Chain A
Amino acid sequence: TQLLEQSPQFLSIQEGENLTVYCNSSSVFSSLQWYRQEPGEGPVLLVTVVTGGEVKKLKRLTFQFGDARKDSSLHITAAQPGDTGLYLCAGTSMEYGNKLVFGAGTILRVKS
């Protein structure tokens, strides 16, 4: 079973559209992170959220950590082809020995 469930698994949209990707768990996480990965490369950290209810913005990307620290979302406004990639959420939880565990990822394709 996946400790972090990501949805949707795959998303194909037109340039300029908005989208939201979700990351959910039944466990409480001390921190959650979002990474973006391009084919053949390692994931690159986008953001870390640590406080329940926290919202962080990175240009057109908005990240939110749920109040109960069990879920997170990534919202992209006016998507561009350069946003194409695999988006991964990851987190650490005392329940899992504070090891960094990853969701299965959301593959985003933005068409021009």
Chain B
Amino acid sequence: SQTIHQWPATLVQPVGSPLSLECTVEGTSNPNLYWYRQAAGRGLQLLFYSVGIGQISSEVPQNLSASRPQDRQFILSSKKLLLSDSGFYLCAWSGKERIEAFFGQGTRLTVV
């Protein structure tokens, strides 16, 4: 069966520090991968979308970047965090034929 791992679960970082959130998927190959950000109790904003290794689509202008160095690894990064980067970040995967998303447990990022 497929599983998705996302870490860390919580993170407190100072303004100006770098960020690296990692997400890996097991039990499937060539998945679509997503990074979403969620404001408290609200919907998910799509940040990045990848259909394959090295193929990243950025959905909104922002202080973040994403990379997909391996088929089942998706990384969310920033060189210098801003206060406005605080939020709940979710990684998800879907298949190619049936686009249903399966989510990781999320990372609560607080920039102080």
Contacts and interface: CB of A to CB of B under 8 A. Distances in A.
Interface of A: 2, 6, 31, 33, 35, 39-45, 48, 86, 88, 90, 92, 97-105, 107
Given A99-B59, A102-B36, 20 more contacts: A31-B99, A33-B100, A39-B41, A41-B105, A42-B104, A43-B44, A43-B90, A44-B103, A45-B100, A45-B102, A98-B99, A99-B46, A99-B49, A99-B57, A100-B92, A100-B101, A102-B44, A102-B46, A103-B43, A105-B43
Contacts of A6: 43
Chain B binding surface SS class: strand
Interface residues of B, number: 25
A104 to B, nearest CB: 4
Interface of B: 6, 34, 36, 41-46, 49, 57, 59, 90, 92, 94, 98-106, 108
A97 B51 CA distance: 12
Nearest to B9: A40
Given A48-B100, A100-B34, A42 B105 contact: yes
Nearest to B91: A42
**Interface centre among B43, B46, B108, by most A CB within 10 Å?**
B43
